[in-house]
């Protein structure tokens, strides 16, 4: 059973277990599906190298399409990571995005979709990295689930402590701006994991394409929690 299948089985038995991650009006809000693969010819190396220009491009996609947020990325093979040496180690470069990104204005509120505790947090302050990051832990019958929130504002990790109780739908963070979120256009990286080993305040959000089968066993599709599909602009 894959990680997605395991979580789907739990949600089927507990359909009201999860709440919201961001504010979203399912009737009126539309989500723009943001393609960050090599097939998107608008993503030139020059654009990606300039964070301000990259941010303006994302803002433009939202404005032109009249969408509140842009979303996408689960198991997407992306070209954008060549902008940072963080993903270009010797051997196979990391290009497979393991979570979902939600793109919107800096300061956008982020909520905990289910009750749990703070596992860990850190400011991963490198170019192209997460910046401020929170990992929450949830204990369900038969398995543990972790969620990672990356590219946050620095104030999001102030006042936290490991083991801190978090309630369902509690405001936990806000989107950071490019000066604090790893030099990215403002967005949230949201990722689910069944096992994070000894990770603390960090866990890879971009992996190796050759290890896709391994990731499928540990990293569920966040759409199971988000239920964004009906809001995505056709």
The CATH number assigned to the domain with range 3-231 reads 2.70.70.10
Give the tens place of pLDDT for each residue, 6-17: 999 999 999 999
Using an 8 Å Cβ cutoff, are 174 and 108 in contact?
yes
Phi, psi of 119 (to 5 degrees): -80, -50
Torsions phi, psi of 7, nearest 5?
-70, -40
> Structure tokens of 48?
């990606």
Q: Using one digit for the tens of pLDDT, what is the confidence trace for 16-29?
A: 999 999 999 978 89
Taking the CA atoms of 105, 55, 227 and 110 in sequence, report the sign of the dihedral they define: negative
Kindly list the domain boundaries of the chain, sorted by start residue.
3-231
- Any idea what DSSP says for residue 129? S
pLDDT tens per residue, range 21-56: 999 997 889 999 999 998 999 999 899 999 999 999
Q: What pLDDT, in 10s, does the model give residues 143-192? A: 999 999 999 999 999 999 999 999 999 999 999 999 999 999 999 999 99
């Amino acid at each position: 059973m894959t990680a997605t299948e395991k979580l789907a089985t739990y949600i089927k038995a507990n359909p009201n277990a999860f709440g919201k991650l961001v504010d979203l009006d399912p009737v009126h809000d539309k989500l723009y599906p943001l393609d960050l693969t090599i097939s998107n010819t608008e993503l030139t190396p020059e654009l990606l190298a300039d964070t301000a220009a990259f941010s303006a491009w994302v803002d433009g996609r939202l404005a032109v399409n009249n969408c509140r947020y842009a979303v996408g990325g689960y198991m997407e093979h992306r070209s954008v990571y060549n902008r940072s040496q963080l993903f270009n180690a010797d051997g196979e470069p990391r290009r497979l995005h393991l979570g979902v990104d939600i793109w919107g204005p800096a300061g956008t509120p982020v909520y905990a979709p289910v009750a749990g505790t703070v596992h860990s947090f850190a400011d991963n302050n490198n170019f192209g990295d997460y910046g401020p990051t929170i990992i929450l832990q949830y204990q369900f019958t038969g398995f543990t689930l972790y969620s990672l929130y990356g590219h946050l504002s620095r104030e999001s990790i102030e006042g936290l402590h490991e083991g801190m109780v978090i309630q369902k739908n509690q405001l936990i963070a806000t989107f950071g701006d490019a000066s604090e979120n790893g030099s990215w256009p403002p967005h949230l990286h949201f990722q689910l994991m069944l096992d994070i080993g000894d990770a603390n305040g960090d866990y890879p959000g971009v992996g190796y394409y050759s290890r896709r089968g391994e990731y499928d066993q540990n990293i569920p599709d966040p759409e199971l929690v988000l239920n964004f599909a009906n809001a995505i602009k056709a």
